[in-house]
Amino acid sequence: MKWHSISTREVLSDLKSGEKGLSSDDAASRLNEYGANQLQSPSKPSPLRIFLEQFKGYMVLVLVFAALISYIAGESTNAYVILAIVVLVAIIGFVQEYKAERAMEALREMVAPEADVMRDGSMSTIPAAELVAGDLIYLEAGDKVPADGRILEKTAFEVIEASLTGESLPIKKGLDLLPEEAALADRKNMVFMGTIVSYGNCRAVVTATGLATELGKISGMIRHSSAAPPLKIKLEQLAKRQAILVFAISIIVFILDASRGSPIMDSLITAIALAVAGVPEALPFIVTLALAFGTQAMARKNAIIRRLPAVETLGSTTVICTDKTGTLTTGEMTLREIHTFRTVDVEGSGYTPEGSFLDKGKIIDPQAEDLASLLQIGTLCNNADIEQSNGVWRIVGDPTEGAIIVAARKAGILEKLRKSSSKVVEFPFDSDRRRMTVVDDIHGQGRVASMKGAPEAVLSCCSRIADGGAVRHLTEEDRKAMLEKADHMASRALRVLGFASRPMSLDEPLFISEIESDLIFFGLAGMMDPPRKEVMEAISLSKEAGIRTVMITGDHRLTARAIGAELEIGNGEVLEGADLEKMDERDLLERIESVSIYARVTAEHKVRLVEALKKKGNIVAMTGDGV
Residue 103 and residue 114 in one domain: no
pLDDT digits (tens, 9 = 90+) for 545-579: 999 999 998 888 888 999 999 999 999 899 998 89
Query: What's the confidence (pLDDT) of residue 627?
Result: 53
In the three-class reduction of DSSP (H, G, I as helix; E, B as strand; rest coil), residue 513 is classed as: helix
Q: What is the pLDDT of residue 509?
A: 93
Give the mean model confidence (pLDDT) for residues 517-529. Answer: 96
Are residues 242 and 296 both part of a single domain?
yes
Show which of 207, 222, 237 is a domain's final residue: 222
Instruction: Give how far the C-alpha of residue 511 lies from the chain's centroid of Cα atoms, to the nearest Å.
Output: 43
Q: What is the pLDDT of residues 313-357, one digit of tens each?
A: 788 899 999 988 878 988 889 999 999 999 999 999 889 999 999
Q: Which domain holds residue 426?
A: 334-528
Amino acid at position 563, single letter: I
Is 323 annotated as catalytic? Answer: yes
pLDDT in tens, 93-114: 788 777 767 765 655 554 447 8
Provide φ and ψ at 125, rounded to 5°: -105, 125
**Range ranked top by mean pLDDT from 121-130, 161-170, 271-280:** 121-130
Asked whether residue 306 falls in the same domain as residue 237, the answer is yes
> What local confidence, expressed as pLDDT, does residue 559 receive?
86
- Which H helix or E strand runs over 555? none
Indicate the average pLDDT of the chain: 87
Reference 197, options 169, 165, 157, 167; nearest CA is 157
Instruction: Assign 3-state DSSP to the chain and report helix, strand, coil percentages, each to 5.
Output: 45, 25, 35
| Distance separating alpha carbons of residues 375 and 165, to the nearest angstrom | 32
- Asked whether residue 626 carries a pLDDT value surpassing 50, the answer given is yes
Given a contact cutoff of 8 angstroms between Cβ atoms, the answer to whether 131 and 117 are in contact is yes
Pairwise CA distance, residues 577 & 185, whole Å: 11
Q: In the predicted model, is pLDDT for residue 53 greater than 50?
A: yes
Same domain, 78 and 98: yes
- Say yes or no: 79 and 146 in one domain: no
- Looking at residue 229, its pLDDT comes to 74
Computed on alpha carbons and rounded to an integer, the radius of gyration of the chain in Å comes to 32
**Choice between 464 and 225, residue whose per-residue pLDDT is larger:** 464
- Region 525-550 average pLDDT: 92
Residue ending a domain, among 198, 222, 246, is: 222
Residue 111 has a pLDDT of 42
Q: Are residues 175 and 292 in the same domain?
A: no
User: Are residue 142 and residue 283 in the same domain, yes or no?
Assistant: no
524 and 613 assigned to the same domain: no
Determine the Cα–Cα distance for residues 55 and 57; give it in Å rounded to an integer. 6
pLDDT at 43 over 90: no
Domain boundary among 528, 546, 580: 528
pLDDT of residue 398 exceeding 60, the answer is: yes
| DSSP 8-state secondary structure symbol assigned to residue 210 | G
* CATH assignment at residue 349: 3.40.1110.10
Would the pLDDT of 183 be above 80?
yes
What whole-number distance in Å separates Cα of residue 363 and Cα of residue 340? 16
Write down the catalytic residue from 135, 143, 148, 323: 323
Counting every residue written for the chain, the total comes to 627
Question: Residue 281 has what pLDDT?
Answer: 66
Q: List the single range of 204-213, 257-266, 489-498 with lowest mean pLDDT.
A: 257-266
DSSP 565: H
DSSP state string for 71-108: HHTT-HHHHHHHHHHHHHHHHHHHHHHHHHHHHHHHH-
CA distance 146 to 144: 6
pLDDT grade, residue 224 (50/70/90)? low
Distances (CA, A) of 618 to 308, 487, 593, 614: 20, 40, 10, 5
CATH of the domain at 148: 2.70.150.10
- Average pLDDT rounded to a whole number, residues 410-414: 95
Asked if pLDDT for residue 188 goes beyond 70, the answer is yes
Claim to verify: residue 253 and residue 303 sit in the same structural domain: yes
How many independent structural domains does the chain possess? 4
Q: Are residues 270 and 409 in the same domain?
A: no
pLDDT of residue 100: 67
Confidence of residue 222 (pLDDT cuts 50, 70, 90): low
Q: Give the SS3 label for residue 46.
A: coil
The CA distance from 429 to 272, in Å, is 85
Question: Is 383 in the same domain as 514?
Answer: yes
Do 323 and 469 sit in the same domain of this protein?
no
